[in-house]
Amino acid sequence: MLVEKQPFALIVTLAITIVLQFFAALVAVRLTKVTKFNLSWILISFGFIFMAVQRLAEFLPFVTDFKPQDFRLFYTWLGAITSLFFAVGVFLIRKIFKHMKEVERKTRNQEKALLNAVIQAEERERRRFAREIHDGLGPLLSTIKMSVSSLAELETNPSALPVIKNTKQAVSEAIKSIQDISNNLSPHILSNFGIVKATRNFINKVNQSKGLKVNFKSNLGDQRYSAALEVVIYRSICELVNNSIKHAKARKVDIEILAQEHHIIVQYSDNGIGFDATRLFTGDKEVGTGYFNMLSRVKSMKGKLQVTSNKNQGVHVQITLPSDGK
């Protein structure tokens, strides 16, 4: 009984194999339209077709009087050609993978170039806005302050003097706020004196608040780098310090900017409440918005951002950037 079932099972298997191999050949032919090096898919397609023909020749004796032993030489040549087509086709597939890697590399470079262009456009807009505030509204408020001072020197009703004094003080505070806003938008120290002095100036302002103690070290000295690189470092440090103040409830921060071989490394640590670092870059707006923006800036410079943090263990961030800015 088993002997009778085996030929039927073999016939069904051969029939399915023939259909699948012709279908595989069709798929391989379709792939020639979407790949640059299509010769490999053509050879593989012929290989599947020849294999299907060989299976068909093995299938015919079960349903016809066809005698395969009369075509032994044909089978040998068909098997050899099939093997040759598959071997050469697989060898040529390497070129397809190489082409795909090249396309992927170009795509990554285009994405980084786009990010870099966006960041540069943002910085240009920041500088323009800061300049308009500083050069437009600043002088106007200074003129108002001078007018109020002149008014205070005139003989007036004594009851008006406190009002004039408060007005003068309010204008002075407005001028100081405009200077701070302008400097935060586009710090002139960064463009004029470099990343170390700009960072130290920012940290001195933070330390004046007495709420957070920031320690800063660097071996860069007065070394200058590309404007784009210095902006990425400065903005990243500002974002991290802002996170430590607003979210981490930290009392101490340590920052290092180090030049090592062909890279600039920024080490940042605080002793705050920490967070679950696995939630970063997952679309969680409560955790990752600032870090996502930072990552975009770092990636635009072909750098790396590593964040280590756990609950009640503070946060440690390492930013590695190529020092040539390329």
- Going along the chain from its start, the domains and CATH numbers come out as 2-114 (no CATH), 187-326 (3.30.565.10)
Query: Is the model's pTM score more than 0.95?
Result: no
Please determine, for residue 133, whether its predicted confidence score (pLDDT) is greater than 70: no
Specify whether the CB–CB gap between 51 and 21 falls below 8 A: yes
Residue 1 confidence (pLDDT): 40
Please determine, for residue 222, whether its predicted confidence score (pLDDT) is greater than 70: yes
Residue 240 confidence (pLDDT): 92
CA-wise closest residue to 67 among 57, 77, 76: 57
Instruction: Please calculate the CA angle 169-175-181 and round it to the nearest 5 degrees.
Output: 135
Instruction: Determine the length of the chain.
Output: 326
* Confidence grade of residue 318 (pLDDT, cut at 50, 70, 90): very high
Specify whether the CB–CB gap between 89 and 40 falls below 8 A: yes
Specify whether the CB–CB gap between 163 and 199 falls below 8 A: no
164-179 confidence digits (pLDDT tens): 777 777 777 776 666 6
Query: Which helix (H) or strand (E) segment is 257 a member of?
Result: strand 252-260
Specify whether the CB–CB gap between 268 and 320 falls below 8 A: no
DSSP 100: H
Mark residue 321 as left, alpha or beta (left: phi above 0; alpha: psi -120 to 50; beta: remaining).
Answer: beta
Please determine, for residue 5, whether its predicted confidence score (pLDDT) is greater than 60: no
Residue 214 confidence (pLDDT): 93
Residue 320 confidence (pLDDT): 94
Please determine, for residue 251, whether its predicted confidence score (pLDDT) is greater than 60: yes
Q: Positive or negative, the Cα torsion across 284, 213, 203, 218? A: negative
Q: Are strands 304-309 and 252-260 parallel, antiparallel or unpaired?
A: unpaired
Distance, CA of 153 to CA of 304 (rounded, Å): 60
Residue 121: CB partners within 8 Å, gap ≥ 6?
none
Please determine, for residue 86, whether its predicted confidence score (pLDDT) is greater than 80: no
Please determine, for residue 90, whether its predicted confidence score (pLDDT) is greater than 70: yes
Residue 89 confidence (pLDDT): 76
Distance, CA of 258 to CA of 196 (rounded, Å): 10
Mean pLDDT for the chain?
A: 77
Residue 299 confidence (pLDDT): 84
Average pLDDT over residues 278-284: 68
- The proportion of the chain whose per-residue pLDDT surpasses 70, expressed as a percent, equals 70
Please determine, for residue 134, whether its predicted confidence score (pLDDT) is greater than 60: no
Distance, CA of 113 to CA of 229 (rounded, Å): 14
Query: Any bridge partners for residue 87, and if so which?
Result: none
Please determine, for residue 33, whether its predicted confidence score (pLDDT) is greater than 90: no
